[in-house]
Structure 1
Amino acid sequence: MIRTTVATVSLGAVVAATAWAAGPAGAAPSGGQTTSVGSAGDESDDLMAALGAYDDPRLSPDGSVTAGAYTAAWNHVTQMPVSTSTFSEATTQPYNSDSLHYRDRNASNSGGGAGYSSGRIAALAVDPAHAGVLYAGGADGGVFRSSDDGATWTPIADHLPALSVGSLAVLPDGSLWLGTGEATTASDNYAGSGVYRLVNPATGTFSTADRVGGGELDGVSIHELRADPQAGYVFAVTSHGVYRRSLTASSATTWTAVLAPCAGIGIAGVGCGVSSYFADVASDVAVQPGSSGESLVANVAWRSGAAYNGFYYSRDGGNTWSLANPTGAINPKEIGNATFAYSADGTRLYAVMESPTLLNKAGSTTVLAGVYVSASGDINGPYNQIATSSVLANSGSAMKRTRIGPGYQPGVQAWYDQSLAVDPADPGHVYLGLEELYESRDGGASWQTVGRYWNFGMPCFSYTPSLNTCDGNVMHSDQHALAFSTWPGHAPEVYAGNDGGVYARPTTQTAPGWRNLNASGTLRTLQYYSVGAGTLSSGGTALWGGLQDNGVSFLSPQGSTYTYTYPGTATPVSEQLNPAGQMSEPFGGDGGDQLVNPADGCQTVGEYVGLTMQLTNNCGYTANNDGTPSAITNIAPSDPNPRFIAPFAADTLDAGFWVAAGEYVWGDTKTWSTTSGADWQQLADSGAGHSITAIASRNHVIWAGWCGTCNPSGSFGRGVLTNYGGAWHQLTLPSDFPNRYISGVTIDPADTSGATAYVTFSGFSRAWHEAPGAGYGHVWRTTDGGATWTDVSGASTAADSFPDAPANRTLVAPDGTIIVATDLGVFVDDVKADGLGHWKRLGQADITANGNLPTAAAVYLTPSPDGKTLYVATHGRGIWSVPMP
């Protein structure tokens, strides 16, 4: 989601846009506000950068990972010794993105109308045999089940090897099929571990024993699972083509590729035109109702264009395929990522399509080719165009140019935001998901925006609550999944899954409004990048964290207060931080790294990505419900090349010194008195084209790991910069030092000289990468300022070696224990007990037991203010705590 701002800042996940100034409802921008909006192509690039922040570290240096890497790492983890401890979920309060008193006009999206939020939902499925039972799949949060039509949720897949969900499908026998590896980006960024089948999903829980097939789908992304009961098959739509297997085959029967044009499977002579990394990306398969399972259509296309891009069809249940030649309004040369939807009677085929031509064209205001219908249901058409970006913008959209500004029109992220579904009871009733949700009740002749991006800019909007007359046709942005309920005796409903969770309403409803299925706080799929903690004066701990597309969350004990004297006033005011028992979102957009004062939990610096640092000294609390006075100050240094999630930190010995990093290393001695980016001083340059990925400072000795270029499918490079010894210098690294993404740099607190440091590597070792420079090991140590290095990951054949999985963050506990967060859990090395290189998994002995951390990627570690508790941020299952090892 984009966020409001009144100053030009580094663009975030999508675009920085303006919230209208205070004043009468519907007032146009005033007061010198500017709209910081680049071209639409830039916005797509920014979203790609957002997803690359998760993707690039795992795929560097060569952009590929051999199938089997996650499974091999998981198998090792299950056999490792255990440091017994119990994890507890910390972020259990509902997350209210519209909390009153957290509506800073410079930084917050509160008031936009999205309401309660969770993390990105990539898949939805309704159980037709059990009224009120539905399933939701998080981007990296596993599967949740609701037995009360979305009022409450329970996780049912927390301990699979991968919690990234691409698809869910309930088959006629009542089983729930789960395709792991989210594929909203049509590539391998959220790799999975295959397909799983749960026989009794209404009451059961997924386990590794439920996997269907061998290792052929390990490490790929699965966009859809489509059942064809009449022909007896189930299809997996993956980043490596379309696969098929018999519905009656044993669980061990492997999946067979049936359509992969670049590989010459299913069709020959098409050509490829791109590298293997972008080859055979499949987006959708649909079975035509009424064809006895014989007629299938498929979209195989790379979003930026490739020779194989096109619509494909089969007339024999997927045994053979042909390249379609769509006629009418569709240009075959413009086919990109597409989604199909048949009417229940099979007479109409709807399609929404992204245009690689527009995606690659600088200055495009959208990348949506259009929405189309083949009135005969034939994949070859002829097609009528029933919606364009302009048509949708004029359907009540908040993304109309006069409302959101130039450069960001409906469909600008159509390569990422796509969902399409036809009401089973009405072939003319269509739901279309892009950034917003649209509805047509006449087969596309007319459209209404029924799930607006937000209320900002609409004629109904005012920051003054009593003057705000907006209706409830708002949900979180970026739509990915649609599903329908058809339970006997219940009004049919439509369910929408997006970057903020799940929403629902009856299909017959024409009045504004949605039922927010995130309100209970039990659909806990928040995707954190960071976590920070500080003590509150009223007692308890304030917990902060930056999130993918959900801003920065603030969690405090219910009833906590904070006393603050606002600038220009003399009387302290006692603020009620959390009267309703909810998390709030003081900072909007995407959240990045986080810095919290351990001694004062209301003092924090959050990041709106790209090193756009923003400071608050009062928890981001605005005294008035209209978002005034301002509570958040932009203090971003002006850096030419920061990472999307750029690092910053406080010196671990001198609380009066901060460091931050993009291409440059920056220092700040004003800390909590900082008022602007001018308070930062440039300390060092990592090099032109470089971008610092990790930074640490202890007693002003600074270590910084960088990448350059940072594109894993290009000429990837990395290095380490430090001022140890007095002068800034690039380290000469040993030949066996891995050429992978440096995800963490940690200075050993026991060495007051700053000479002892640990470097943490993401990705997988040379065993799974094609690139010779990938190297081995994930944790390396120096004791002499970088002159020599030792791989302390342990012997690769030992049961207690560090797992060969992406490592994300390192922390050294007060007793010297090394703690590392990875994609497969948290691991510790008690150096005093058995020396370096002997690792244990932190948690319960039974890896599937409650009290273990769910296997969503653990990406960040931070201690509690008293040092007794360790907080772990996961990218899909919220924040968890565990006693400090």
Structure 2
Amino acid sequence: MSAPTRRRRWLTLCAITATAGLVAIPASAAPGPHSGSPFGARTLARLAAERQQSVGTMSPKVKEDDGDDGNEADEIAEGADQYAEARTSPGIVAPGAYGAAWTSLSKLPRTGGSWRNITDLPYDSDDARYRDIDSNSSGGSGRVTGRMAAMAADDDGYVYAGSAGGGVWRSRSGGGHWQPISDRLPAQSTGALALDGGGRLWLGTGEATTNADAYLGSGVYLLSDPHHGTFSTRSRVGGDELESTTIHELRFGGGKVWAATSEGVWSHSTKKLSGAWKLEYAPNPDYLPGGPKADDPDAAYKNITNDIAIDPKNPSKVVLAVGWRSGDDYNGFYTKESKGAWTRISSGFGDLPTDADDVGSVTFARSADGSRYYAIDQSPEQLNTNPDSGLEGIYVSKSGSPSGPWTKIADYQGLAADGSALTSPGYMPGVQAWYNQFLTVDPADPEHVYAGLEEVYESKDGGTSWSAVGPYWNFGFSCWSIDPAKQTGDCNPTTHSDQHGVAIGSYHGKSFVYVGNDGGVYKRPVDGTQDSSGHATDWTSLNDGTIDTLQYYSVGIGKDLAHGGVSVTGGLQDNGQSILRSNDKVMGSNFGGDGGDTLTDPANGCNIAEEYVYLSIQVTQNCAVNGGSWITDASKATSYNVAPADNATSEARFIAPLAADAKNSSTWIAGGRHIWVQTHGYAIRSGDEWKSVYDLGAGRTATAVAASGGKVYAAWCGPCNNQGFARGISVGNADGTGWHDIALPATGANGTVPNRYLSGFAIDPKNADHVFLTVNGFSRQWTEGPGAGVGHVFESTNGGATWKDISKNFPDVPADSAVVTPNGGLAVATDLGVVYRAPGRTSWQRVGSLPAVAVLQLKLSPDGSTLYAATHGRGIYTIKVRDCD
């Protein structure tokens, strides 16, 4: 066998490995080598292991074995402590938690100084400087930003993009030259955007893709003058009925706006904006907030609704698409009978299925003339049993009525044959149909349809034939070459993968389709051109650097020895690792896939270690710059795979902790089931150089690690989901001596460490026994799980033996990481910004005025003068430490 290709895909596995509601993925899901695959044996094995880790987001409940191979329960434990679990375990979070936290944070006194965004410039995923085998450069996606969940556009050149965690953005020039228009809202997570017939812009907050890093919203907002105005809290429609929900779609009909939410279907007058929302239908109302089963572990996914189809000829005829993606008895399509009761449709739908096992996440679209309705349906049965795809199909109702009859016009096999890049067993179109969906119809042609799954598809004949106009990547095609000189003029630019939002609008009289995906916003002419493979030749990236919604997990800073100043790197959701050197006008991407934790040598910013997922760690000592050889041979690459053994056994969390000793940058700590140490720094070349210094135990996995002067702190959870959740702290030395578990009271009472997710350590650089601990989730005011306790920041002066709650006026909001500043202050990253406690003080202040965006990691510059904040939705910000006091 030739040397394995190490190129990694864009597929968003963090979207699969989320909080709960397990998805059955049999062992047969493992993709195997084939002639069309751009991956070698190592990556294929990695993908197989990741598919085995697939879990859902909303509930810890394991779906009962329905007679398949019985391996669903095997998919629970080691990968379960994911992004959303950190915020929910050990119980269900009550509605209003984030709203109350934002109010509390807003009332804190503010420090001086202002944050500066340093990533508000173009980010080129195809940067030829970093066309090494572990990057995704040459994939064809071009300039990217963070995930876009929804799109809207009009015929005056105005385009609106709603991001997963960075708010809503407006372009006045048909795309590009963006400006944020929702920064004053308490929720920056977008679920839906819609323009009504009067040109008003409606925003439904709370991303509804049920993925790992989505956030709940604060309701629906209306912008009456979207060309010039900005959203404010005063523009919220109705009361607080939709607070702490996710909103999948907003639809209009009969003088009402309808909202498909995670808590049922609601409606409100489009004329009178005051007054409460009306609950139209909830399949399981006992599980709604205030109901007798509201605290049930399954409550969060018992009333999920996906879309609403309204008959344009008779707005009283409405069809609801209802159901959790992994399946439940209530899944199905519902309509109102003459007596006003909602009932599930059981027959007469044609090809569109009515069985609960075949109805999951659904998206509707109708033609402007009312002659056609279209639908995409994701099947729980397919998701749970078919390793290739979860797509049931794409359908059309040629009567123009959502009541049908419906005819199937596409399935995953047919789409795979129409120019798709996803033709591997286990990775075919619709493999993430529960996460990737959009659908729209050309206003000028009822048979011209755009559909989004992992890729973008187009049909010009009502679904008789399809083209993959936005393929997943270019790697697998014959036109592709890693050599930039050979690539030009062969493969055309494509979109980023994983499609979520779509809109059609006009600019200077020409119509364009705008798509939003995990890489931002792209456009092409509605009637664009295609090559012989059916791939579009005219995609344009609109991620020009004025829109920064990059979702960072981490940040690293080191001196830029070649240009002066510093080099800044960071790991990103589905956008690899960015690298920004001091003379750059455009950021590059030197590692691909999902970028997790990051280590950067403070003394040399080209010494970098980057985690992909599950402790799959790559290291480079030249910034992963390609020297011009343009090879695909891993043995000649400029980066090296140095993953410890927990990566191969998947005994680490999706974004696993990685840290360097604060006193010795050549000593690294990595955490999975084991605590791993290696002492070769950036000169490491093999995963065999890691040594396990402590076994946390079966079912446990590290959530945070830190070290100073050889003393190591490790936090863990296991089980990590909210049923049976447990946490702990282990302490020892990097040489393997002195390891032991700290005794933490299980109840988390009386000022002790709560039984919640332990997210980070900050060690006093002057004394390794003086350490701070950050705690994620919400206190028992909002979480009634066992031992939820109170507090978010704790201090120990005796090496972790005992802890004191120092939260005081700290907002009740998930805390993600902390850093001790050179003057002895303490800065803490939270899900809604950064707070600071000055030396000698006991109370907390808000640092600057970031929007309501999650800050996942804080780091100091090499000289300690500047604080860097990695936000999960608005890029990387900096502020001078002196300004915090």
- TM-score bucket of the superposed structures, by smaller chain: 0.7 to 0.9
Q: Is the 8 A contact 2:311 2:402 kept in 1?
A: no
Shift of 1:853: 1.7
CA separation in 2, counterparts of 1:331 and 1:37? Answer: 35
Which deviates more, 211-220 or 332-341?
A: 211-220
- The aligned residue for residue 269 of structure 2 is 246
- The aligned residue for residue 422 of structure 1 is 441
Matched, 1:97 2:120: no
CA separation in 1, counterparts of 2:170 and 2:32? Answer: 36
CA separation in 2, counterparts of 1:9 and 1:730? Answer: 38
Q: Is the 8 A contact 1:70 1:219 kept in 2?
A: yes
Q: Deviation string for 1:171-198 (max 9, x for gaps)?
A: 2333222111101127994111111122
Matched, 1:773 2:791: no
In structure 2, the CA distance between the partners of 1:747 and 1:34, relative to structure 1 (3 Å rule), is closer
Tell me which of 709, 712, 719 is aligned to 2:719: 709
Q: Is the 8 A contact 2:10 2:574 kept in 1?
A: no
Q: Is the partner of 1:392 in helix, strand or coil?
A: helix
Shift of 1:154: 0.6
Shift of 1:383: 2.4
CA separation in 2, counterparts of 1:862 and 1:621? Answer: 24
Tell me which of 87, 99, 102 is aligned to 1:74: 102
5 Å matches for 1:443-462?
Answer: 443-462=462-481
Q: Is the partner of 2:101 in helix, strand or coil?
A: helix
Provide the alpha-carbon RMSD of the alignment: 3.0
Q: Is the partner of 1:83 in helix, strand or coil?
A: coil
Q: Is the 8 A contact 2:151 2:193 kept in 1?
A: yes
- The aligned residue for residue 672 of structure 1 is 682
- The aligned residue for residue 615 of structure 1 is 619
Tell me which of 286, 297, 305 is aligned to 2:319: 297
CA separation in 2, counterparts of 1:816 and 1:5? Answer: 43
Matched, 1:150 2:175: yes
- The letter for the 1-side match of 2:148 is I
Q: Is the partner of 2:170 in helix, strand or coil?
A: strand
Tell me which of 624, 627, 650 is aligned to 2:660: 650
- The aligned residue for residue 354 of structure 1 is 378
Shift of 1:482: 1.0
Q: Deviation string for 1:595-631 (max 9, x for gaps)?
A: 0000100111001011111101001100117257511
Q: Is the partner of 1:237 in helix, strand or coil?
A: strand
Shift of 1:384: 1.7
- The aligned residue for residue 805 of structure 1 is 813
Matched, 1:343 2:367: yes
Q: Is the 8 A contact 1:43 1:408 kept in 2?
A: no
CA separation in 1, counterparts of 2:469 and 2:80? Answer: 27
Q: Is the partner of 2:83 in helix, strand or coil?
A: helix
Q: Is the 8 A contact 1:186 1:282 kept in 2?
A: no
- The letter for the 2-side match of 1:311 is F
CA separation in 1, counterparts of 2:217 and 2:548? Answer: 20
Q: Is the 8 A contact 1:17 1:37 kept in 2?
A: no
Shift of 1:862: 0.5
Matched, 1:828 2:849: no
5 Å matches for 1:815-854?
Answer: 815-832=823-840, 834=841, 836=842, 838-843=843-848, 852-854=849-851
Q: Which runs of 5+ in 2 are unaligned?
A: 17-28, 58-77, 531-535
Q: Is the 8 A contact 2:618 2:640 kept in 1?
A: yes
Q: Is the 8 A contact 2:494 2:539 kept in 1?
A: no
Matched, 1:65 2:93: yes
Which deviates more, 332-341 or 7-16?
A: 7-16
- The aligned residue for residue 730 of structure 1 is 741
Which deviates more, 256-265 or 737-746?
A: 256-265
CA separation in 2, counterparts of 1:43 and 1:121? Answer: 27
- The letter for the 1-side match of 2:516 is G
Q: Is the 8 A contact 2:457 2:469 kept in 1?
A: yes
Shift of 1:41: 9.2
In structure 2, the CA distance between the partners of 1:350 and 1:261, relative to structure 1 (3 Å rule), is same
Q: Deviation string for 1:848-869 (max 9, x for gaps)?
A: xxxx222211111001111111
Q: Is the partner of 1:678 in helix, strand or coil?
A: helix
Which deviates more, 217-226 or 47-56?
A: 47-56
Matched, 1:483 2:509: no
Shift of 1:787: 2.8
Q: Is the partner of 1:831 in helix, strand or coil?
A: coil
Matched, 1:323 2:344: yes
Matched, 1:536 2:560: yes
Shift of 1:351: 1.2
Tell me which of 66, 71, 85 is aligned to 1:56: 85
Shift of 1:636: 0.6
- The letter for the 2-side match of 1:728 is W
Shift of 1:78: 1.7
Matched, 1:742 2:746: no
Shift of 1:450: 0.3
CA separation in 1, counterparts of 2:493 and 2:708? Answer: 50
Q: Is the 8 A contact 1:295 1:315 kept in 2?
A: no
- The aligned residue for residue 45 of structure 1 is 54
Which deviates more, 676-685 or 183-192?
A: 183-192
Shift of 1:279: 0.7
- The aligned residue for residue 637 of structure 1 is 644
In structure 2, the CA distance between the partners of 1:4 and 1:197, relative to structure 1 (3 Å rule), is farther
Matched, 1:122 2:149: yes
Tell me which of 307, 313, 319 is aligned to 2:335: 313
Q: Is the 8 A contact 2:8 2:592 kept in 1?
A: no
Shift of 1:169: 1.4
Which deviates more, 469-478 or 161-170?
A: 469-478
Question: Identity percentage over the alignment?
Answer: 45
Which deviates more, 11-20 or 114-123?
A: 11-20
Q: Is the partner of 1:604 in helix, strand or coil?
A: strand
- The aligned residue for residue 381 of structure 1 is 404
Q: Deviation string for 1:94-119 (max 9, x for gaps)?
A: 000001121111x1110010111011
Q: Deviation string for 1:285-315 (max 9, x for gaps)?
A: 1222222x22222211101101110012247
In structure 2, the CA distance between the partners of 1:390 and 1:18, relative to structure 1 (3 Å rule), is closer
Q: Is the partner of 2:234 in helix, strand or coil?
A: helix
Q: Is the 8 A contact 1:27 1:459 kept in 2?
A: no
CA separation in 2, counterparts of 1:10 and 1:96? Answer: 18
- The aligned residue for residue 365 of structure 1 is 388
Q: Is the partner of 1:543 in helix, strand or coil?
A: strand
Q: Is the 8 A contact 1:309 1:335 kept in 2?
A: yes
- The aligned residue for residue 592 of structure 1 is 596
- The aligned residue for residue 569 of structure 1 is none
Shift of 1:378: 3.9
Q: Is the partner of 2:414 in helix, strand or coil?
A: helix
Q: Is the 8 A contact 2:823 2:839 kept in 1?
A: no
CA separation in 2, counterparts of 1:501 and 1:66? Answer: 31
CA separation in 1, counterparts of 2:811 and 2:384? Answer: 40
Q: Is the partner of 1:108 in helix, strand or coil?
A: coil
CA separation in 2, counterparts of 1:531 and 1:322? Answer: 51
Which deviates more, 134-143 or 187-196?
A: 187-196
How many positions carry a matched residue from both structures? 819
CA separation in 2, counterparts of 1:676 and 1:274? Answer: 43
CA separation in 2, counterparts of 1:173 and 1:792? Answer: 52
CA separation in 1, counterparts of 2:596 and 2:501? Answer: 26
Which deviates more, 532-541 or 49-58?
A: 49-58
Tell me which of 171, 177, 198 is aligned to 1:173: 198
- The aligned residue for residue 798 of structure 1 is none
Q: Is the 8 A contact 2:495 2:541 kept in 1?
A: no
5 Å matches for 1:505-520?
Answer: 505-511=524-530, 512-520=536-544
CA separation in 2, counterparts of 1:764 and 1:265? Answer: 20
Q: Deviation string for 1:175-223 (max 9, x for gaps)?
A: 2221111011279941111111222221112222222222222211111
